[in-house]
Structure 1
Amino acid sequence: MKLFGYAPERGAAAGDTMPFYYNGAWHLFFSQPPVGAWEYVERARVSTAHLKSDDLVTWDVMPDAFGPGAHGDCDGDGIWTGSVIEHEGKFHFFYTGYNRQSASPQTICKATSTDLATWEKSGANPMISPDSRWYETVDWRDPFVYRDDEAGCFKMLISARLKDGPQFRRGCIAVATSDDLEAWEVGPPLASSMLTHCPECPELFKLGDWWYLVESRYSERMQTVYRVAKSPEGPWESRKLDSLDGRRFYAAKSASDGERRMSFAWIPFRKHHGPKRSWVWGGELGSPRELMSLPDGTLISRLPQEVDASYAEEAPHTLRPMLGDWTRGEGVHCDATGFYGYAFLDGPDRDDVHLDVIIEPAPHTEAVGILIEPRGGDHLDSGYSLSIEPMKGRVLFDRWPAAMDPLWDSLVLKERHGIEVSQEIDSPLVERPLAFTPDDGRYRVQILRNGSAIECFVAGQVVASFRVYDISNTDAWGLFVQEGAATFHDLKFRK
């Protein structure tokens, strides 16, 4: 089983990930809401599922780790996000216990195991409750535990909110310390950027020469963002490319095998899978992402080589030029200077397919990229696209026609032409800045598509993930060049 597009049969969806690497194997624990639970209260009563892999490609479904306690227990309404750490031959799983009837509904709890399969909850639960000296008592979750060798103790990062400050900017990361993983002392926050309501799923690690503080922010574009520092104590700085993906790849957490660091997260569903319904918490898992540190501290994401190579069966395709001067030579070349050129690719369907191409835009080309699910026949009336905009230094995953202000939507399109453009909170759907321009001016694009889930990897640095429900099983790919020229090298589909 591949990870991309996976949701558990025993749960309604895959939620927050808690990866852990041990003894040659990747363990991916993740939150799963009950089957059929779409509304908040029922959906929040999550349990913890477990996947295992030796190679990042083939994943085995393991027995669930553990679930909520009895009604009234500190974790009776849900087992929320946490982290795993090994110490002296025992595995300690710190997690968030949720009891919605309590004055402090979120507390930090623990379960232990000797084999990562059978877990026993601690009799001391809840182990850590909100400390009212610094923090509010409602938000207190997502513990991340690590060993601080320099300080000679264990530290825990906790998603929290300050007691005082602007209402929507009190989000902070609390810190607790322990010598034995049993007794914990809560202290003042590690970081409080005064930028978010409450940071979720924090983690701290060193990669290359830099320390990284990663957190997810639901109140600001629902993204997983990071900050960099030369010390684990900060001060924390931002970078041009400051997030791991767009707003539809959420709550990313990572683990390291000692050489490489892999990040995991989920691509959300829409409610009841309705194309125009609201987004919900939880969905399907995305592919593993290999995190890389650039010299200036920028954190980039790549598709692991093992996952890329697992798409080994090449699928045939044909090019069908529609508009523009399309020629074949060393690759497929299109000259569309001053206008929009496009061609369709008649190829495989949407089920677990990988498109791989190297795009070389000519100087001063406005945009170039891939059409995904163009609809409306040869007229290209609507669809989706992955667009590289070299002069703007960015990547877009978007749809057309684009969302408009209600004035133009209602007066011009709907009234005069009978066309209604959906007004989405995602507009553009995904927008990512490029961390750098490739030295050779060539951008390798890898697009994975499985059902309604799409992942776009660009130039080994930027990822754009999204879920598209209004698609079909028919061949639906294409190439485009906007106001310029480009060559598409080594284009292939693999399954």
Structure 2
Amino acid sequence: MVDRRYFVPKQKIFMVRGLRKTQHQSQFIPKDSIGRYWMLVATRLANGPYWSRGCIALLTSPDLDAWTVAPEPLYAPNDVFCPECPEIFTLPNGKWYLVYSRFHAPNAGTVYRIADTPYGPFRVPRDGSHGRLDGRRWYAAKSCPKAGDPDKRITFGWIGDYADDEKKWLWGGDLGVTRVMWADTNACLRIDASQEFRSYIWRCSKPVSPSNAAPSLYLCSLGTTATHFPELGSAEWKKDLMVDFKVAACDAHTFGVMLQTDSSGKGHRLQFNSQGNGFFSVALMTDFPPLDDFWADQYRIYIPRPVDGPELVRHDNVSLVDGVFLFLRGQLVEVFCGGRALSFRLPIPPNWASGERDGVRRLGWFVEDGMVDLVDINMRHSRGRKDSSVESDNGLEDAD
């Protein structure tokens, strides 16, 4: 029998007793306190406002054979078209966490909600990120307990593929770096690149010469913007480039890192804005916001209008005391700071097809209206095959 509380698709379906399920992901959970198995199903309500019917249904079973649909959805926020990849877990702090992905709606990406019991109600955390673990392009994340450390979980997600020739985002992508997840003192989830991954890439990389990348940098510019592009030599376009740095002092409107910047100054940015009390707003920004038709037509400045941006990922109330880790892997950008993550796939400039970079710089620094003092700057790059220059399809040297 079909459960009429949930949407019945016209596409191929799979039968589960009491519920017709679409090809959205589900999670099986071991027995609860009264001996039942749980299964979470990402689906949609049969009724209600069309664009916000997404929900997560709960099914229970005593034997993994016969399943019963719970009277009410486990979670129905009324602000998402359809959730994906749900999972639920608890941590030693006693809180329960519902994690799922949302491809559309406010704060798209992999998000989490918090409850005192596995039945909810699951609340949006007041964590400065609206419950987002990253941006919309780090997606379909799943986690598992970290062996030997019950306070932490290891989580994996992919960063979406982009067809540059068709200017379309695709389903699926490259697996992001291995991340560790834990709860802070306010029970909010925090995320970072795992120490095991950091140790591995340290062993498999080489330091950029200090003569090319100084370990500290002081930038100051009052009422305007100052930039600095380190001369990285052959290391600049190695496939993998890792950058660590700390902020010793800052009195600026904004500062940060410029990514893939051309000779006109157009490029993506990792941007830090001071919020006072030692905290920052951190955002990944597109290379240049598009213009509306009036200005574009008047000045014949036709800039692409991508579905993302101009603000790609943003987190507020971020501490930079422990520094910033930036990992560039081909066109992929992954940033970790203050228990937050920011990820994206940079577009490949059209002129790269001919192997020409035409003055494009992979990495630089900027400060706007003020000063910033960066210290403990450490840049490393991947080793080429037999430490020689091996060009990949996108013009970046491959690592072993």
TM over 0.5: yes
List aligned pairs for 1:44-443, cutoff 5 A: 105-107=12-14, 128=16, 131=19, 137=20, 139=22, 141-188=24-71, 189-209=73-93, 210-220=95-105, 222-239=108-125, 240-241=128-129, 242-258=131-147, 259=149, 260-271=152-163, 273-274=164-165, 277-312=167-202, 313-316=206-209, 318=211, 331-347=216-232, 348=235, 349-363=237-251, 365-376=252-263, 380-391=264-275, 393-412=280-299, 414=300, 419-438=301-320, 442=321
Contact 2:18 2:68 in 1 (8 A): no
Is the Cα–Cα contact under 8 Å of residues 319 and 344 in structure 1 kept in the other structure? no
Q: Is the Cα–Cα contact under 8 Å of residues 247 and 372 in structure 2 kept in the other structure? A: yes
> Structure 2: which 5+ runs fail to align?
1-8, 382-400
* Unpaired segments ≥5 residues, structure 1: 1-101, 108-125, 132-136, 321-327
- C-alpha distance in 1, partners of 2:111/2:333? 20
Shift of 1:226: 0.9
- Structure 1 pair 130/138, CA: closer, same or farther in 2 (3 Å)? same
Distance verdict in 2 for CA 1:284–1:140, change over 3 Å: closer
Distance apart, 1:318 and its partner CA: 4.9
The alpha carbon displacement at 1:289 in A equals: 1.4
Aligned to 2:323: 444
Report the AA paired with residue 150 of structure 1. Answer: S
Q: Kindly provide the CA deviation profile for residues 330-374 of structure 1, in whole angstroms up to 9, marking residues without a partner as x.
A: 8321122322111002222240221111123424x2111111111
Q: Contact between 2:42 and 2:83, CA under 8 Å: does it hold in 1?
A: yes
Is the contact made by 1:104 and 1:130 (CA closer than 8 Å) also made in structure 2?
A: no
Q: 1:103 to 1:421 in 2, by over 3 A?
A: closer
**What is the alpha-carbon distance in structure 2 between the residues aligned to residue 213 and residue 253 of structure 1?**
11
Per the alignment, in what secondary structure is the counterpart of residue 323 of structure 2?
strand
Matches of 1:421 and 1:482, distance apart in 2? 24
CA distance in 1, matches of 2:185, 2:13: 39
- Assess if the C-alpha contact under 8 Å between 2:137 and 2:159 holds in 1: yes
* 1:429 CA displacement: 4.4
Query: Does 2:328 match 1:468?
Result: no
Alignment partners' CA distance in 2, 1:227 and 1:303? 21
RMSD: 2.4
Distance in 2, Cα, partners of 1:104 & 1:138: 10
CA displacement, residues 148-188 of structure 1 (integer Å, 9 cap, x when unaligned): 43232210000111121111111111111112222222223
**Secondary structure of the residue that 1:194 maps to in structure 2?**
coil
Once residues 372 and 322 of structure 2 are traced to their aligned partners in structure 1, the CA distance between those partners, rounded to angstroms, is 11
CA–CA separation in structure 2 for the residues paired with 1:336 and 1:310: 38
Q: Which residue number corresponds to residue 455 of structure 1?
A: 334
Quick check: 2:268–2:288 contact (8 Å CA) kept in 1? no
CA separation of 1:103 and 1:382: change in aligned 2, threshold 3 A: closer
Q: Look up the match of 1:5.
A: none
Which residue matches 2:392? none
Residues 222 and 485 of structure 1, relative CA distance in 2, 3 Å threshold:
same
1:488 is matched with which residue? 374
Q: Distance in 2 between matches of 1:129 and 1:287?
A: 38
1:197-220: CA deviation from partner (whole Å, max 9, x where unpaired): 111111101134221111111222
CA distance in 1, matches of 2:379, 2:197: 15
Normalising by structure 1, report the TM-score: 0.65
Which range is displaced more, 291-300 or 383-392?
383-392
CA distance in 2, matches of 1:479, 1:104: 50
In 2, Cα distance between equivalents of 1:130 and 1:432: 41
Contact kept in structure 2, 1:292 and 1:299, CA below 8 Å: yes
Change (3 A) 1:139 1:197: farther
- Tell me how far apart the structure 2 counterparts of residues 405 and 475 of structure 1 sit (CA, whole Å): 28
In structure 2, relative to structure 1, the CA distance for the partners of 1:295 and 1:477 (3 Å cut) is same
Q: TM-score, normalised by structure 2?
A: 0.80
Instruction: In structure 2, give the amino acid aligned to 1:243.
Output: R
How far apart, in 1, do the equivalents of 2:314 and 2:284 lie?
Answer: 9
Counterpart contact for 2:313–2:343, Cα < 8 Å: no
- Tell me how far 1:319 sits from its aligned partner: 5.9
In 2, distance between residues paired with 1:231 and 1:176?
17
Structure 1 pair 411/205, CA: closer, same or farther in 2 (3 Å)?
A: same
Residue pair 2:98, 2:113 contacting (<8 A) in 1 also: yes
User: Which amino acid in 2 is paired with 1:407?
Assistant: F
Letter in structure 2 aligned against 1:262:
I
Q: Return the alpha-carbon distance in structure 2 between the equivalents of residues 436 and 356 of structure 1.
A: 16
Distance in 1 between residues matched to 2:17 and 2:62, nearest whole Å = 18
SS at match of 2:186: coil
Residue 85 (structure 1) aligns with: none
Contact in 1 for aligned 2:29/2:39 (Cα 8 Å):
yes
The one-letter code matched in structure 2 to 1:398 is M
